Amino acid sequence: MDPTMQAGLAAIVGAVMAGGAVLAWHISDRQRHTLPEVEKPLVQEGVAAVLSILRSSAVVLDESDHVLKASAPAYAFGLVRGNTLVVPELLEVVAQVRRDGQIRESELEMPAPAGGTARTLTARVAPLGARLVLALIEDRTREKRVEAVRRDFVANVSHELKTPVGAIRLLAEAVNDASDDPEAVQRFAGRMLTESDRLSKLVQQIIELSRLQGHDPLEKPVMVDLDTAVATAVDTSAMEAVAKEITVESRGEHGLEVFGSQEQIGAAVSNLVANAVAYSGNGSRVVVTTRSEGDQVQISVVDQGIGIPAEDIDRIFERFYRVDPARHRSTGGTGLGLSIVKHVAATHGGDISVWSVQGQGSTFTLTLPRNSSPEHGSGSTPVEVVVPVSTPTTPIRTSPSAHRRTQQETRSP
């Protein structure tokens, strides 16, 4: 092969190699600038963002019922654990939606943890695309509770108003029929006065409770003297106490004051004392104690009455709730007194608690924020005021052991 041909072949080979190198460089450059294909997420970012801001419990499930996305409330309510939906009834609704693609709503009862109350849930389940299912769960427990209380309130008000009104009508007819019998007229007239007083008290307490249930703050708060409130409460129940030979005592720290409504706090203490007298046996004792506890004031009313069953303690502050309806009717109660106390405590930023054992008595403790000004009761000294005069005893405490000590002391001659 002559030199000319060799040079030509070398040039051709060089050109081919250069072209191959350029081609390889272009391919490599294209690969570097080409993004790898990423599988699209099953739950789009927009959907996930919307679910994260919902107040409802939101759960997104795939075709295998695995949880792909769940909001924080879903975990908080115990609906989701890990990537599993743990509510069988809800899984059944999800399966129905997956079969026919129809949106469904269902009301579920979720068992409560030990010591709690069951929760009522409303679930709305809908298909989310071809493969996913979305479940939105709302906790309706509070709404159900309010609805039940409102329904009971209307029914009870109707019944409570109808009873004395019907009795007054019957007594009026009896008076008319016995117009020629002065003794019968006097007897029926006395019964009419009793029923009219009960009706008047019921209407007044309904009005008072309706006013307290408003969320408006106290219009004209003042410094409330607890000595005056307790003395008024004791005096209000004095006639009933004398009739049953019950000794009502008031004792504790003198000069305590709270910021609020004199009328409302007085009504709350009066209701507690009246309740204690009504459910105490003849010849027993009721003790009202006031004391300061840090930045709070406690008013405790201790009685030796019939007590409250453990299963009823959580409900005694409900409107018209009665542990023993027959006894409550005989005492002339309306079933609203403790509800008023509860709302007064809530309005003033306080609390009401109860300790009770059947056959031993009850201790109701009204706790209210006390005034922090040094000129109002910060240097108060303990005093004891007894109405009527009785053997002094140690101050009352609201703990069970202290209550038992008080019961033993008040039973002593």
Residue 299 pairs in a beta bridge with 290, 366
- Tokens representing 158? 């109707």
Return the CATH number of 141-214, one of 3.40.1410.10, 1.10.287.130, 3.40.50.1390, 1.10.260.40: 1.10.287.130
Q: Judge whether residue 343 has pLDDT over 60.
A: yes
- Where residue 342 falls among pLDDT bands split at 50, 70, 90? confident
Q: Angle of helix 262-278 relative to helix 337-347, nearest 10 degrees?
A: 150
pLDDT in the model for residue 218: 58
The CA–CA distances, whole Å, from 238 to 128, 142, 362, 387 equal 70, 41, 20, 9
| CATH number corresponding to 45-139 | 3.30.450.20
Angle separating helix axes 182-212 and 141-177, nearest 10 degrees:
160
Domain definitions of the chain by residue range: 45-139, 141-214, 218-411
Please give the CATH topology (third level) of the domain spanning 218-411: Heat Shock Protein 90 (3.30.565)
pLDDT over 50 (residue 296): yes
Q: If you ran DSSP here, which 8-state letter would residue 67 be given?
A: E
CA dist., res. 411 & res. 53, Å (int): 61
CA-to-CA distance for 274 and 248, rounded, in angstroms? 10
Say what percent of the chain tops pLDDT 90: 9
Residue 101 has pLDDT above 70, yes or no: yes
- 240 and 273 Cβ atoms separated by less than 8 Å: no
Distance, CA of 77 to CA of 139 (rounded, Å): 9
pLDDT digits (tens, 9 = 90+) for 183-231: 888 888 888 888 887 788 778 767 766 666 654 445 667 888 899 999 9
Q: Is the pLDDT of residue 37 over 70?
A: no
* Start-to-end Cα distance in the chain: 143
Please tell me the distance from the alpha carbon of residue 78 to that of residue 121, in angstroms, as a whole number.
Answer: 12
pLDDT at residue number 399: 40
Neighbours of 51 (CB within 10 A): 21
CB atoms within 10 A of CB 85: 19
Within this chain, domains 45-139 and 218-411 share the same CATH topology: no
Q: List b or e across 285-321, with b for residues whose CB sees 16 or more CB atoms inside 10 angstroms.
A: bbbbbbbbeeeebbbbbbbbbbbbeeeebeebbbbbb
